[in-house]
Amino acid sequence: MEPKFISDRISVLRTKKNVSEYRMSTDLGHSKSYIQSISSGKSMPSMGEFLYICEYLGVTPKEFFDDSINDPQLVRELYELSRYLSEENLKILVDLAKRLSN
C-alpha cells in the first residue's frame, strides 16, 4: 500500500465530511497541522491513530481501503438505516437499488 493512497484517501473522506484539516486535527486531539502533515505525505499515522481517524471519518478500515466505494460514509448510513426496515421495505429498497444501478 502506497503512503500516498492513505494521505489522498484521508483528504477525500475528510472533504466529503466537510471538515477542514485544522478542525479534524484538533478534534482528534492533535496540533492544528497534524492532518496537514499526513495529507502532504510528511508523516503517516500510527495504527492506533489510523483506527481513530477511520472512526472519526465514519468508515471501517475495510471501507477506507476499498477505493471502489466513492462515498463510504453514505453507504454506511444507508446500511445502518436499512438494518431496521421490515422485510417488505428491504425488498423495495433492493429493487430500487437495482433500478438505479442499471
* pTM for this prediction: 0.82
Summarised one tens digit per residue, pLDDT across range 32-48 is: 999 999 999 999 999 99
Domain tally for the chain? 1
Mean pLDDT, rounded, of the chain: 94
Which of 48, 26, 35 is closest to 8 using CA atoms? 35
Of the candidates 16, 57, 87, the residue with the CA atom closest to the CA atom of residue 45: 57
Which residues span the domain enclosing 62? Answer: 3-101
User: CATH code at 45?
Assistant: 1.10.260.40
pLDDT at 102: 85
Q: What confidence category does residue 1 fall into, taking pLDDT thresholds of 50, 70 and 90? A: low
Cα separation of 101 and 58, whole Å? 24
75-80, long-range: CB within 8 Å, 24+ apart, which pairs? none
pLDDT higher than 90, residue 95: yes
- CA dist., res. 18 & res. 83, Å (int): 26
- Per-residue model confidence as pLDDT tens digits over 49-76: 999 999 999 999 999 999 898 899 999 8
